[in-house]
């Protein structure tokens, strides 16, 4: 069993039991204590678990909410401008995929039309729950506490029978070969949603063009529109022009 598969099953166990000992990990997966420790370290680094005496447990809800609010403090004005510009691509009675990102959650706040949304974002679900004209569908599954999204192994099958008029996608990092994310599961969901979308719209503040991350979710040739807050570096302008991507700079 690959580490990613074990981590998912550990998170599923934690979701039902709240804590897990290193001994339980060893027994459940027939692995050594060194392997169990590496799994624990990985989950702690991702922020999806915290260390306890002899094992790990889920982060408290208070910790999760505080981390999310801390992320919202940074570049909020730029993110809101980007989200406001993205409203131009929202039409009545259309079907959309809303990604997990703070910029996309700002877009969710601004929605005032009757639309259908599929999302794996806890925050989008909370926002749309107060909008009676929005029909929202959740992928469901295990909650990633750090980045506040749901994932389950069968979610790709759930998306297979759908078609979206547009997918609104965030970014953790933008590189010369595509758009990257911090979590493998999140990138996996994006890959599936993008393939089922007539239009892919990336919402990102310009600083993401200077960062790096781990898992590629979107190729350049899959992107139709990029909305950002300032002009990207020249190397990316060349890529955007070559791929005939519509670039929109939010005021």
Domains in the chain and their CATH numbers?
3-58 (1.10.10.10), 70-249 (3.40.50.1360)
What pLDDT does residue 9 have?
87
Measure the CA–CA gap between 208 and 242, rounded to whole angstroms.
20
Question: Cβ(127)–Cβ(133) under 8 Å?
Answer: no
The answer to whether 157 touches 85, Cβ cutoff 8 Å, is no
What's residue 69's pLDDT? 53
Residue-wise pLDDT tens for the chain (251 aa)?
A: 778 788 888 988 887 787 899 999 999 999 999 899 989 988 887 767 788 878 898 765 445 444 555 555 555 788 999 999 999 999 999 999 999 998 999 999 999 999 999 999 999 999 999 899 999 999 988 888 878 899 988 888 889 889 999 999 999 999 999 999 988 899 999 999 999 999 999 999 998 997 888 899 999 999 999 999 999 999 999 999 999 999 999 97
- Which is nearest to 104 in space by CA: 233, 15, 227? 227
E strand map for 177-244: 178-181, 200-203, 215-218, 225-228
Q: What pTM did the predictor assign?
A: 0.73
């Amino acid at each position: 069993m690959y580490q990613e598969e074990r981590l998912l099953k550990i998170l599923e166990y934690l979701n039902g039991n709240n804590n897990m000992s290193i001994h339980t990990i060893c027994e459940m997966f027939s692995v050594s204590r060194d392997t169990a420790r590496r799994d624990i370290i990985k989950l702690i680094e991702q922020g999806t678990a915290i260390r306890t005496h002899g094992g790990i447990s889920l982060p408290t809800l208070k910790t999760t909410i505080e981390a999310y609010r801390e992320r919202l403090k940074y570049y909020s004005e730029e993110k809101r401008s980007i989200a406001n510009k993205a409203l131009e691509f929202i039409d009545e009675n259309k079907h959309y995929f809303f990604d997990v990102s703070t910029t996309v959650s700002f877009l969710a706040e601004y929605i005032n039309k009757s639309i259908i949304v599929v999302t794996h974002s806890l925050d989008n679900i909370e926002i749309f729950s107060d909008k009676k004209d929005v029909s929202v569908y959740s992928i469901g599954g295990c909650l990633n506490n750090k980045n506040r999204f749901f994932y389950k192994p069968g979610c790709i099958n759930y998306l297979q029978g759908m078609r979206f008029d547009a997918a609104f996608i965030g970014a953790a990092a933008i590189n010369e070969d595509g758009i990257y994310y911090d979590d493998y599961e999140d990138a996996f969901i994006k890959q599936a949603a993008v393939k089922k979308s007539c239009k892919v719209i990336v919402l990102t503040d310009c600083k993401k063009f200077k960062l790096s991350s781990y898992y590629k979710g979107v190729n350049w040739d899959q992107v139709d529109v990029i909305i950002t807050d300032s002009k990207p570096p020249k190397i990316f302008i060349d890529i955007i022009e070559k791929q005939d991507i519509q670039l929109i700079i939010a005021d």
